[in-house]
């Protein structure tokens, strides 16, 4: 629908705002794990590998559940999906306040929180993709910036709560907040414009710049038989390995070097702030130069930032790292939904995006626990950071070699 035929206020913006708020809470609370890391391991005497393992399990299961929430989002819509996931996320954090043994950590955070988290990134960005044709990349970037804003403010709030009260009370507050905000925001979501008698914003104007039909495209079965799908999966796996290894271990690493807990939490905050900038700027950049080129630029910046981390010892360099790293991974997350739409269309966008996000979480399951094991063995994170540089360069190489979008099959499989 053209701008002139749309109502004065397009309901898609309400959907985008609700999705934005949900991502602030889901992703913001996820990255508090690094802030809770030392209080948990110190109280119970768990090694860093043991503590990281719960995050890795949660990450892997979240990625697997993304496939199912993507399917459900395609079929029944985001309102039901996010209401259920909001309940599980709040429940998981409330139960985390009662943790007393390692098996509870793995059950509450590794499993229950993972169910709740699976309702965030994939259903929200897939839903927004259906509401906008014109400026799709920009709107996705703005919505995805909710993750960056959450990373900016929620770990800082968690650190303040822990220092003011204790980690158990802090988890209780996080659980109640997540439950209330997500369930309420979910009530404003609709799967696509047809449910309220509209067309996607800008449909028919011929200004999308995308290479695949917006409404048609590949079924999931057709997509997985293309090399583009598997190359995308390798690239997202590389990205996830680096992102989660750093997000879990950057605060412990900084405090090991004598940086205060407050300043270490500020590194996460800077990553979150740069994340917001990266998502908005790279979403719009993807509209202009193409999602593949924009994604490759983010890999270049991520590789540079990780190389910087290998040699940094001073706080201001940590802050420089945080900005470059946050901008890069924010941009990649914003570009994923656009890249999937460019390659495979919107027919099965939710499940294809969920599968691509599973690649992030496979890498994310390996990265933190491997980093913890290397630290427990060597007493240093240097080998971890060097490995991340290599993995990031590998992801850049795969993205550079990614072929153009495949031709849409004539017949459905």
Map out the domains of the chain with their CATH numbers.
Answer: 10-192+213-401 (1.20.1250.20)
pLDDT at residue number 191? 86
pLDDT at 193: 87
Per-residue pLDDT for 247 more than 90? no
- State pLDDT tens for residues 324-359: 999 998 899 889 888 998 899 888 888 898 889 888
Q: HSE on the CB side for 228, CA within 13 Å? A: 18
Q: Best-predicted range by mean pLDDT among 127-136, 280-289, 298-307?
A: 298-307
| Model pLDDT, residue 166 | 92
Residue 276 to residue 4: CA distance in whole angstroms: 31
Task: Note the pLDDT tens digit of each residue in 90-100.
Answer: 999 999 999 99
Structure tokens at 116: 């709740």
Q: Among 165-174, 226-235, 269-278, whose mean pLDDT is lowest?
A: 269-278
Q: Output the CA torsion sign for 178, 183, 189, 190.
A: positive
Query: Do 71 and 219 meet the contact criterion of CB atoms below 8 Å apart?
Result: no
- If pLDDT is split at 50, 70 and 90, which confidence band does 202 have? confident
The whole-chain average pLDDT of the chain stands at: 87
- Please give the backbone phi and psi of residue 201, each rounded to the nearest 5 degrees, phi first: -60, 125
Out of 39-43, 182-186, 203-207, 218-222, give the one with best mean pLDDT.
182-186
pLDDT in tens, 21-38: 999 999 889 878 888 988
Burial status of residue 342 (CB atoms within 10 A of its CB: 0-12, 13-18, 19 or more): buried
- Spatial contact of 412 and 222, defined as CB atoms under 8 Å apart: yes
Q: In which band, very low, low, confident or very high, does the pLDDT at 215 lie, cut at 50, 70 and 90? A: low
pLDDT at 172: 96
Query: Residue 212 above 80 pLDDT?
Result: no
State both tokens at 223. 């997509």
Highest mean pLDDT among 91-95, 119-123, 313-317, 343-347: 91-95
- pLDDT for 82 equals 96
What is the mean pLDDT of the segment spanning 227-231?
94
Given a cut of 60, whether residue 214 has pLDDT beyond it is no
The arithmetic mean of pLDDT across residues 267-293, rounded, is 86
Digit-coded pLDDT (tens) for 179-191:
999 999 999 999 8
Amino acid 216: pLDDT: 62
Q: Which residue has the higher pLDDT, 21 or 202?
A: 21
Q: In which band, very low, low, confident or very high, does the pLDDT at 364 lie, cut at 50, 70 and 90? A: confident
Q: Does the pLDDT at position 229 exceed 60?
A: yes
Encode pLDDT of 153-165 as tens digits. 898 899 899 999 9
């Amino acid at each position: 629908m053209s701008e002139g035929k749309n109502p004065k206020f397009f309901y898609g913006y309400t959907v985008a705002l609700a999705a934005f708020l949900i991502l602030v809470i889901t992703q913001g609370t996820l990255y508090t794990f690094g802030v809770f890391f030392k209080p948990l391991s110190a109280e119970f005497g768990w090694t860093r590998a043991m503590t990281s393992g719960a995050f890795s399990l949660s990450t892997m299961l979240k990625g697997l559940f993304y496939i199912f929430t993507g399917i459900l989002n395609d079929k029944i819509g985001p309102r039901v999906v996010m209401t259920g996931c909001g309940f599980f996320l709040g429940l998981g954090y409330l139960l985390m306040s009662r943790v007393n043994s390692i098996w509870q950590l793995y059950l509450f955070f590794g499993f229950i929180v993972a169910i709740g988290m699976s309702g965030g990134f994939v259903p929200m960005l897939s839903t927004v993709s259906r509401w906008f044709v014109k400026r799709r990349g920009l709107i996705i970037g703005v919505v995805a910036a909710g993750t960056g804003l959450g990373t900016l403010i929620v770990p800082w709030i968690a650190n303040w709560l822990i220092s003011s009260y204790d980690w158990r009370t802090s988890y209780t507050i996080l659980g109640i907040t997540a439950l209330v905000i997500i369930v309420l925001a979910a009530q404003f979501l609709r799967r696509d414009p047809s449910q309220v008698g509209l067309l996607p914003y800008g449909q028919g104007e011929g200004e999308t710049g995308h290479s695949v039909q917006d409404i048609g495209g590949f079924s999931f079965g057709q997509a997985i038989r293309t090399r583009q799908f598997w190359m995308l999966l390798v690239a997202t796996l590389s990205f996830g390995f680096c992102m989660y290894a750093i997000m879990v271990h950057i605060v412990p690493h900084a405090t090991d070097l004598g940086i205060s807990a407050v300043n270490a939490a500020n590194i996460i905050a800077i990553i979150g702030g740069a994340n917001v900038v990266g998502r908005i700027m790279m979403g719009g950049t993807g509209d202009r130069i193409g999602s593949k080129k924009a994604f490759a630029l983010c890999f270049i910046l991520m590789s540079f930032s990780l190389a910087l981390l290998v040699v940094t010892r001073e706080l201001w360099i940590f802050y420089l790292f945080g900005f470059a790293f946050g901008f890069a991974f924010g941009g990649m997350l914003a570009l994923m939904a656009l890249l999937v739409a460019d390659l495979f269309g919107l027919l099965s966008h939710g499940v294809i995006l969920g599968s691509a996000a599973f690649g992030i979480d496979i890498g994310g399951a390996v990265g933190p626990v491997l980093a913890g094991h290397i630290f427990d063995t060597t007493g240093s994170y240097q080998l971890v950071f060097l490995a991340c540089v290599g993995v990031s360069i590998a992801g850049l190489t795969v993205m550079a070699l990614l072929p153009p979008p495949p031709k849409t099959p004539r017949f459905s499989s």
